[in-house]
Amino acid sequence: MFPQAPSAVVMIRPHHFLPNEETRADNSFQSQAQQFDGGVSQLAYEQVTRAAEQLEQAGVQVHLFEDLGTDTPDSVFPNNWFSTHAGGQIAIYPMYAKNRRRERRTDIIELLKREYRVQDVIDYSGLEYDNLFLEGTGAMVLDHIERVAYTARSKRTDSHVLERFCSHFNFEPMVFEALSEGGVPVYHTNVLLCVGSDYALGGFDMIVDPERRAEIKHRLQLAGKKLIALSEAQINAFCGNALELSASEGRVLALSQTAYDALTAEQIAVLESCVTLLPLEVSAIELAGGSVRCMLAGVHLSRR
The helix/strand/coil state of 268 is helix
Per-residue pLDDT reduced to its tens digit, 120-133: 999 999 999 999 99
Worst-scoring range by mean pLDDT, 114-123, 176-185, 212-221?
176-185
- Predicted confidence (pLDDT) per residue in 281-304, tens digit: 999 999 988 999 999 999 999 999
Provide the whole-model pTM. 0.94
pLDDT of residue 21: 60
Cα separations in angstroms, 301 against 38, 87, 140, 147, 187: 37, 7, 19, 16, 28
Cα–Cα distances in angstroms (integers) from residue 300 to residues 10, 88, 117, 126, 188, in the given order: 11, 8, 10, 24, 21
Does the pLDDT of residue 240 top 70, yes or no?
A: yes
Q: Which residues pair with 12 in a beta bridge?
A: 65
Residue 240, classified by CB atoms within 10 Å of its CB into exposed (0-12), middle (13-18) or buried (19+), is: buried
| C-beta separation of 240 from 191 below 8 A | yes
The residue among 82 and 21 whose pLDDT is bigger is: 82
Distance CA 96, CA 45 (A): 25
Is the separation of the CB atoms in 303 and 63 below 8 Å? Answer: no
Helix (H) or strand (E) holding 242: none
| Contact between residue 149 and residue 180 where contact means Cβ atoms under 8 Å apart | no
- For residue 153, the tally of other CB atoms under 10 A from its CB is 19
User: What is the b/e burial string over 246-281, where b = at least 16 CB atoms within 10 angstroms of the residue's CB?
Assistant: bbeeebbbbbbbbbbebbeeebeeebeebbebbbbb
Stretch 70-79: mean pLDDT, rounded? 92
Is pLDDT above 90 for 2? no
Tell me the C-alpha distance between 113 and 105, whole Å. Answer: 13
Instruction: Note whether 23 and 30 are within 8 A (CB).
Output: yes
pLDDT for 26-71, tens place per residue? 555 545 555 556 688 899 999 999 999 999 999 999 999 999 998 8
Q: Are 20 and 99 in contact (CB under 8 A)?
A: yes
Residue 30: predicted pLDDT: 47
Give the span between the Cα atoms of 155 and 134, in whole angstroms: 9
Is pLDDT above 70 for 81?
yes
Residues in Cβ contact with 192 at an 8 Å cutoff, skipping those fewer than 6 apart: 141, 152, 178, 186, 202, 203, 206, 235, 240
pLDDT of 37 reads 60
